[in-house]
Amino acid sequence: MARPLLPDDLWTEIAPLLPPPRPRPKGGRPPIDNRAALTGIVFVLRSGIPWEMLPAEM
């Protein structure tokens, strides 16, 4: 089984440092989950692929 890019113990240290979500009175597209966004960023940095080639699953 592959090792996760963002382990739970690391996420518990990072999550409190992120700002709380802002209210969105006008609606719009819902924001992506912070953990999913950070996992995508870590994937791009570790793999060296261009941002545009990020898999849709990320």
In contact, 51 and 37? CB cutoff 8 Å = no
Task: Report pTM.
Answer: 0.76
How sure is the predictor about 58, in pLDDT bands with cuts at 50, 70 and 90? low
What are the boundaries of each domain within the chain? 32-51+54-58
pLDDT at 31: 84
pLDDT at 1: 57
CB neighbour list of residue 50: distance below 8 Å, 6 or more residues apart: 44
Of 41, 34, 39, which is closest to residue 16 (Cα–Cα)? 34
The pLDDT tens digits for 5-54 are 889 999 999 999 999 988 888 888 888 899 999 998 888 888 888 888 87
**Phi, psi dihedral angles at 29 (to 5 degrees):** -70, 135
